[in-house]
Amino acid sequence: MGGRVAQAEFSIIDSLEDVDPAQWQALAGDNPTLSYTFLHALHATQCASSRTGWTPRYLVLHRNGVLQAAMPLYLKEHSRGEYVFDHAWADAFHRNGIPYYPKLLSAVPFTPVTGSRLLAHTAEDRQLLARAALQVAQQLETSSLHILFPDEQDKQALADAGYMLREGVQFHWENQDYADFDAFLASMKMEKRKKIRQDRRRVQEAGISFEHLAGKAITDEVLRFFYQCYVSTYQAHFSKPYLSLAFFQRLLADTPDSLMIVLARRGEQPVAVALNLVGGNIMYGRYWGTQEFVSGLHFETCYVQSLEYCIQHGIARFEGGAQGVHKMSRGLVPTPTWSAHWVADPRFADAIADFLAQETAAMNDYIDELSEHAPFKT
């Protein structure tokens, strides 16, 4: 795609090697999942590539040779690794003899983290990207265009450009400037506070202790143990992992400060592990795995230890990842997330719009109901 709109030159690239890393980073800000290193590592290690059904078609906007705006776009041959589920839509297309794939997708592969998808310095350029992406979808003759987990600024720009919005929910924790972990527990209802303490006691009685390893304190040996647990977690659910050891090793080598690992040990023997991403004063819970079952170990490793780390280091928010109403008992509360959608066929677009109107009303009711059961004192 080439053209000039308000002296802006658009193009489509299939590799981040075609843009200046510093200029990309100026747009991406401090969200670690949008960094040049993170996205380029996904492509360079072939985790997100044409081979895996993620063909990069990044939309970029330059003025006078300087990158002014960008949008991570992928041609998708399936809907795996997205965490916003459109399988029913794909099935409806198939039952009517109309291909749903390839579709066009704006997302960070395998990463249900809210952030900018219209990376731009100005609101005007966000609008230009939102509208130019529609032209790309039409020129590539895709069935649809989907933007997953956009932030509030993007959400508004996408709505203004005519995209249909879809609401979801995740569970996030906000640091209320707690002096220490006991102060956090004191803010919770008695039964929730008691449950956390019981789980911690069971883990301790099993002989488990914890280390918080950040940045260069993470050794290759620890990372390999993490990956072994990560793979076994997928295998336990009869699935294959999306990411390779080479991807995580590349992150550790190039952006070590974006990684934080909770390592559970019994003596010198590692037992379980959780990997978090850190950036912009936010911690993102991503992956976990264990070598054995210990009652309470999952919640302690994935959530409670991470919250304690956030309190100790003044991190403002912990995002617990996709799904999981069970996270509420550990202090995470329901938080709306969004996606935006455009469908080429007006018949399906109308049907999906009707569905989304009903789904949004139901989702709002669900979030309201969950909020009534918040784990904190009134």
pLDDT tens-place string over residues 187-241: 999 999 999 999 999 999 999 999 999 999 999 999 999 999 999 998 888 788 9
Positions of E strands within the chain: 3-5, 8-13, 54-56, 58-63, 66-71, 74-76, 103-106, 119-120, 144-148, 164-174, 209-214, 259-266, 269-279, 282-290, 317-322, 333-343
pLDDT of residue 324: 83
- For residue 161, is pLDDT > 70? yes
Is residue 378, in this structure, part of any structural domain at all? no
At residue 8, the pLDDT reads 74
Asked whether residue 41 is assigned to any structural domain, the reply reads yes
Number of compact structural domains in the chain: 2
Q: Which residue, of 315, 346, 362, is where some domain finishes? A: 315
**Structural domain that includes position 237:** 176-315
CA separation for the pair 131, 123 (Å, rounded): 13
Residues 159 and 251 in one domain: no
Q: Are residues 153 and 246 in the same domain?
A: no
Taking residues 157-167, report their average pLDDT: 97
d(CA 60, CA 15): 11
Closest CA to 57 of 21, 126, 103: 103
What gap in Å lies between CA 348 and CA 93, rounded to an integer? 8
Residues 366 and 224 in one domain: no
In a domain, 2, yes or no: no
Indicate whether 186 and 167 sit together in one domain: no
- pLDDT, position 249: 98
pLDDT at 2 over 70: no
Asked if residue 376 lies in contact with residue 187, where contact means CB atoms within 8 angstroms, the answer is yes
Both 40 and 158 in one domain: the answer is yes
Closest by CA position to 88, among listed 359, 331, 368, 371: 359
How confident is the model over 22-48, as pLDDT tens digits?
Answer: 999 999 999 999 999 999 999 999 999
Across residues 255-267, what is the average pLDDT?
97
Same domain, 23 and 165: yes
Position 321 in a domain: no
- Its sign, for the CA torsion 164, 169, 173, 174, is positive
Other beta carbons within 10 angstroms of residue 132's beta carbon come to 23
Looking at the fold, whether 17 and 155 belong to one and the same domain comes out as: yes
Instruction: Decide the pairing of beta strands 74-76 and 269-279.
Output: unpaired
In the listed set 285, 315, 345, which residue is the last one of a domain according to the structure?
315
**Across-strand partners of 278?**
283
Distance CA 355, CA 105 (A): 20
327 domain residue, yes or no: no
**d(Cα 145, Cα 133) in Å, to the nearest integer?**
8
Is residue 5 scored above 70 in pLDDT?
no
Residue at 323 is within a domain: no
Task: Specify the pTM.
Answer: 0.94
Q: What is the number of residues in the chain?
A: 378
Same domain, 165 and 20: yes
CATH number for position 212: 3.40.630.30
Q: What type of residue sits at position 1?
A: M
Same domain, 162 and 185: no
- Condensed to tens digits (0 to 9), the pLDDT of residues 291-350 reads 999 999 999 999 999 999 999 999 999 999 888 888 999 999 999 999 999 999 999 999
Evaluate whether residue 1 is within a structural domain: no
Cβ–Cβ < 8 Å for 119, 70: yes
Task: Give yes or no: residues 230 and 283 share one domain.
Answer: yes
- Read off the pLDDT of each residue in 262-278 and give the average, rounded to a whole number: 97
Please list the alpha-helical segments (H only) found in 179-219: 181-186, 190-205
Tell whether the model's pLDDT for residue 135 goes beyond 70. yes
pLDDT, position 3 = 46
Same domain for 258 and 295? yes
**In contact, 260 and 294? CB cutoff 8 Å:** no
Q: Is residue 349 part of a domain?
A: yes
Do residues 209 and 308 share a domain? yes
- Looking at residue 228, what is its pLDDT? 97
How much is the pLDDT for 219?
A: 97
